A = this chain, B = another copy of it.
């Protein structure tokens, strides 16, 4: 099954409603299911003023494309779109969006989950905190729970 894959890494603010609308309105008649995930910058109860996201240009796009291709070979999805932000992102702004369309819900929902789990551990992005007092905070540490989430998709 041919799957249309769209990947972008952007430095400008993402308008999530526009991304969703574009995906939704260009869906085929037989796309009975559209699953979507938006990851947003958290304010951490007022502690953060921003997250600054550094990335490895070229490799970031390549790793995301690879995740999307893996998803397309694993589930019968007709389209998958991934958009990831870099640069300074403020609380409430969108960091990442993953959208997948399929005939049935399981494929679309699982493909989105898979790509998110993959991105967390394998896409070359690094987040650093900017604090409300105006100072630069620490780099965000990788989470063991993300490694675990990634591993559940490994096939025997």
Chain A interface (Cβ within 8 Å of chain B)?
A: 16-17, 20-21, 24-25, 27, 29-46, 91-92, 103, 105-106, 108-109, 112-113, 116, 149
Contact = CB atoms under 8 A, between A and B. Distances in A.
Closest 6 CB pairs of A and B: A29-B43, A17-B21, A32-B42, A34-B38, A36-B36, A29-B91
Copies per assembly: 2
Given A17-B17, A35-B112, A109-B113, 4 more contacts: A24-B38, A36-B37, A42-B103, A105-B116
Given A17-B24, A24-B16, A106 B149 contact: yes
B34 A37 contact: yes
A69 to B, nearest CB: 21
